[in-house]
Amino acid sequence: LYPTFAVWENVPGAFSSNGGEDFRAVLEELARVEQPDASIPRPSKGGRWNKAGAIAGNGWSLAWRQLDAQYWGVPQRRKRIALVADFGGQRAAEILFERTGVSRNHDSCVKA
């Protein structure tokens, strides 16, 4: 039995590592779990990966997004890439891109 989903997390430098080739290789290897002949091309516009995106194939999908830890309950700014692979359908983007935002505490930390 194969897994239905995979989650990969890394630093934003993965987008530009080795001229963007390393991130492309990660996407391609994940796609090949379900479709052995899958080929993921490099991005066309300036050769740079977007901070969010999705790719779908025949029975699989991938979605990635750059997130900042400060919005997830951590008292620091730390950007990370989150990538979800769905090996059984087209749900990766649905999982990673929430339709409603995460509520944030907008109260001032210091009284006026």
Cα–Cα dist 67/21, whole Å: 21
Give the pLDDT of residue 71. 86
Q: How do residues 27-48 score in pLDDT, each as one tens digit? A: 999 999 999 999 999 988 778 9
Residue 96 tokens read as 């990673």
Task: Quote the pTM value.
Answer: 0.81
The alpha carbon torsion through 54, 55, 61, 64 (nearest 10 deg) reads: -30
